[in-house]
Amino acid sequence: QLGGQVVRGGQHSMIAIRADRGRLWTVLGLLVVLQFSVRPMLGYPAVAPDFLLLALMLYAIRSRPGAAALAGFLVGLAGDAVSPARVGAGALAHTLVGYLAAWGRAVFFPDNLFINGLVIALGVWIRNAIQLAASGPGVGGVTMELLVWSPLQAVTTAIVAALVLVIFQRWLDIRLEE
């Protein structure tokens, strides 16, 4: 009883919320496994889809900006650990992308498959641009990175995102309008 009114269904609602979170974490865990098991076999890493960033974006658009920024920081820190030449650049880039994705959900209504893909592709490109600015150009230079490799990786990641969103549509509790 709450304020003189009987509250019903509270237990059922909490179970449903936990189940939804469990499904989201299952999908995110699958993406982490794909990052380290499938991505290395997909060829040139600058073009291969970034499953970790996809997981971050899926989490961020369902979270508050602070939680998404923290998740981005942790993802970036993990990436920086395997690439010691650019320590800090990944953490900065992922933190900003996570924050912006969570903040952007108030502006965008990502129930459209195309909009989801566009937001995720933009997140990949922005992350790559921030990393490039923070750590300096790679072997191909700034132009090749920003105008060739980053857009290609953004497209491959967006395609994988579309597949994940279609396959796990009910698990992620979204309504996709095409």
162-178 residue pLDDT tens: 999 999 988 886 655 54
* 15 vs 134: which has the higher pLDDT: 134
pLDDT score at 111: 72
- How high does pLDDT run on average in the chain? 84
33-52 residue pLDDT tens: 999 899 989 888 889 999 99
**Whole-prediction pTM value?**
0.83
pLDDT score at 29: 94
Per the DSSP assignment, residues forming a β-bridge with 177 are 112
124-145 residue pLDDT tens: 999 999 999 998 776 667 888 8
Contact 69, 31 (CB under 8 A): no
Whether 121 shows a pLDDT value over 90: the answer reads: yes
68-119 residue pLDDT tens: 999 999 999 988 887 766 789 999 999 999 999 999 876 766 678 888 899 9
Contact 150, 125 (CB under 8 A): yes
- Token pair of 2, please? 């709450």
What is the full DSSP assignment across 93-145? HHHHHHHHHHHHTTT--TTBHHHHHHHHHHHHHHHHHHHHHHH---TTHHHHI
pLDDT score at 109: 61
By three-state DSSP, how is residue 177 classified?
strand
pLDDT score at 7: 44
